[in-house]
Amino acid sequence: AQAALTDLRPQPDDIAADAINGLSRTPKSLPSKYFYDAEGSRLFEAITRQPEYYLTQVELALMESRMPSVAAAVGSGAHVVEFGSGSGRKTELLLEGLEAPVAYTPIEISRTALMDSVTRLGQQFPEVEMLPVCADFTGPVPLPPASRHVQRTLVFFPGSTLGNFFEGDAVRLLASMRGTMGENGRALIGIDLDKDAAVLDAAYNDRAGVTAAFTLNLLARLNREIGSDFDLDGFGHRAAYSRERMRIETALVSTRAQSVRIGERRFDFAQGEAIEVEISQKYTDASFAALTVQAGLEVIDGWNDAQDRFGLRLLRP
């Protein structure tokens, strides 16, 4: 089926306003959602193939082995709504494993990544209606209605993308998913589980330097799209695990004193000054349950790999 695209992707003015706002704060910050332009999505896919970045391999293996249990718990005739769909490899396993899914709505901020995955999935699953939405899913997203009867909406949020949100934003996002799924809905969420700091540090500092290139692409993207003049040689990638906050904290660190221009605005950096660009929260069963109750959701099922590195959780209102 040919996919009709709902296009609500962020415009240069929104991106510039968010960048100026973040760089005006102390400490400086930039939103991680802007990592994902076409180049950033490509670099993220490359990260998922790095040996240190266990998250994707472990989650894919979990989906492969546990899909029968997931399908039994979800039931037939679902409209799958995926938040931040990326390449769609996990979606393939989901649509293949579910009983007679009716429709699929990927919500994805990168238009190229969205169209690539939906074209492929549309050919692979001709029985499933493709209803893609290009949007920043942290805002309100109208759900395109399916043509056929839907038994249940299934929100799919893999990859531990939830971990990129500070607690309050994570709860707001989960609450908006509760709204999307409705009273009879379910959500299948992937979460990276807390573990040894060395394993986590390695996952976000791969030897080949792909993660560093991914982080720096944020500045390259701003230069391309909002005409800022970041010198890419003047900043370095830094990612470190905080045991206290149970998360990886990623920053771009200024290697020297310098100033950067965005339109009329100038931002001064001291040598060693950081721009906070991403957090990747890790979870325990207790910390995840505490988050979901605040959003009016309940964990009703869960599956971990044998080493408890990564988990899938099934939620209901």
Q: Which residues bind to ligand AVJ, rule: CB under 6 A?
A: 47, 55, 159-161, 163-164, 204, 211, 214, 278, 280
**Rounded least distance, CB 164 to ligand AVJ, Å:** 5
Q: Which is nearer to ligand AVJ, 132 or 190 (CB)?
A: 190
**Number of other residues whose CB lies within 10 A of the CB of residue 155:** 24
Shortest approach of ligand AVJ to residue 161 CB, angstroms? 4
- Smallest separation (angstroms) from ligand AVJ to the CB of 160: 5
> Least distance (Å) from ligand AVJ to the CB of residue 49?
12
Closer CB to ligand AVJ, residue 91 or residue 160?
A: 160
Angstrom distance (rounded) from CA 106 to CA 141:
11
Instruction: Return the SS3 of 296.
Output: coil
Phi, psi at 183, each rounded to 5°: -60, -30
Please tell me the distance from the alpha carbon of residue 263 to that of residue 261, in angstroms, as a whole number: 6
Q: Is 149 left (phi over 0), alpha (psi -120 to 50) or beta?
A: beta
Report residue 99 as tokens. Answer: 């009983």
CB of 279 to ligand AVJ, least distance (A): 8
Q: Which is nearer to ligand AVJ, 50 or 153 (CB)?
A: 50
Which CB sits closer to ligand AVJ, 69 or 87?
87
Task: Tell me the pairing of strands 103-108 and 129-130.
Answer: parallel
Name which of 157 and 267 has its Cβ closer to ligand AVJ: 157
Residue 46 CB contacts under 8 Å (≥ 6 apart), including other chains: 210, 214
